[in-house]
Amino acid sequence: MKIGGVEVGDFPLMLAPMEDISDPPFRQLCRKLGADVVFTEFIASEGLIRDIEKSRQKLDFSEMERPVGIQIFGHNVEAMVAAARLAEQANPDFIDLNFGCPVRKIVNKGGGAALLQDIPQLLSITDAVVKAVGKPVTVKTRLGWDEKSKPIVLLAEQLQDVGIAALTIHGRTRAQLYSGKADWSLIGEVKRNPRIRIPVIGNGDVTDGPSALAMKNQTGVDGIMIGRAATGNPWVFKQIKHYLKTGEMIDGPGPEERIEVCRTHLLTSVEWKGEMAALHETRRHYSHYFSGFPDFKPFRFRLMTAPSVNHVIEILEEIKTSYIR
């Protein structure tokens, strides 16, 4: 399968763009463990064109992450075009437009899923960005704003007509946020639409091999994007691939591998963003890295409150001594 002219695999598994999660250290882990495509954290167009340091840093990626997409969001055509051009200078494989984020602080500013209430503006942004950059432009969005407004089937055609190279659909409305069950039926309707020629990527409630196979069979999608299920669990891509190939589940990583991957994640984060930022952001993954470890609560508390990287490394050594026989 290709997105634009970029080969991404027969049935690619993709890491979703997630704020403070899908940064370079975590993307690298996911690529090593089976992700075929990764996306950056979403970047505010206004922050990028104003040269805000945090926004600019999110453009960074390593060559080993390719194929990689840079995702931007915003509501203003001119700002989105300017941001897309800046993102293109970083030389990613794709420019991805976020029309699906349901978070209030983004929606209240007219970005993300808010544009599902203003389809003409959404299409104007997409059309302008496609014309402004040479990289393939992709879109990630939702079914619609709420149960009364799910325009995704027609919207997919409209987005294709203005020139996007691939479409990722999260099977929820904005009103659902991340609650309830994802509705894959409309994703399948988009994919089965004879007018649709671009790849359609499914997203929502895929957490393991069986759910990935179910989405593939029910919708016919060309690939799957995985978000929350990958947090602290970069092995999910490897496990899903094995299941899709063999129909068999494979065991998750043992304690030693989990500890070493956690250590690698932390130390790589320090290299990218400094000690304090790495300490705070890696904490989001600890509960998942050590899921299933019996009587782990005291260790978890110490990891979450450790004041330095050296303290975390010492705690990881204690964990190894306690759980590896």
Taking only the tens of pLDDT, the chain with its 325 residues reads: 999 999 999 999 999 999 889 999 999 999 999 999 999 999 999 999 998 888 989 999 999 999 999 999 999 999 999 999 999 999 999 999 999 999 999 999 999 999 999 999 999 999 999 999 999 999 999 999 999 999 999 999 999 999 999 999 999 999 999 998 999 999 999 999 999 999 999 999 999 999 999 999 999 999 999 999 999 899 999 999 999 999 999 988 889 999 999 999 999 999 998 999 999 889 988 888 998 899 999 999 999 999 999 999 999 999 999 988 7
* Residues ≥6 apart with Cβ < 8 Å to 160: 167, 195, 196, 197, 198
Inter-residue contact 182 to 142 (CB < 8 Å): no
d(CA 184, CA 166): 17
- Indicate if 101 belongs to the active site: yes
**H-run or E-run covering 123:** helix 119-132
The answer to whether the peptide bond before residue 67 is cis (omega within 30 degrees of 0) is: yes
Q: Which of 8, 87, 101, 224 is catalytic?
A: 101
Q: What is the DSSP letter of 164?
A: -
Domains and CATH numbers, the chain: 2-246 (3.20.20.70), 255-323 (1.10.1200)
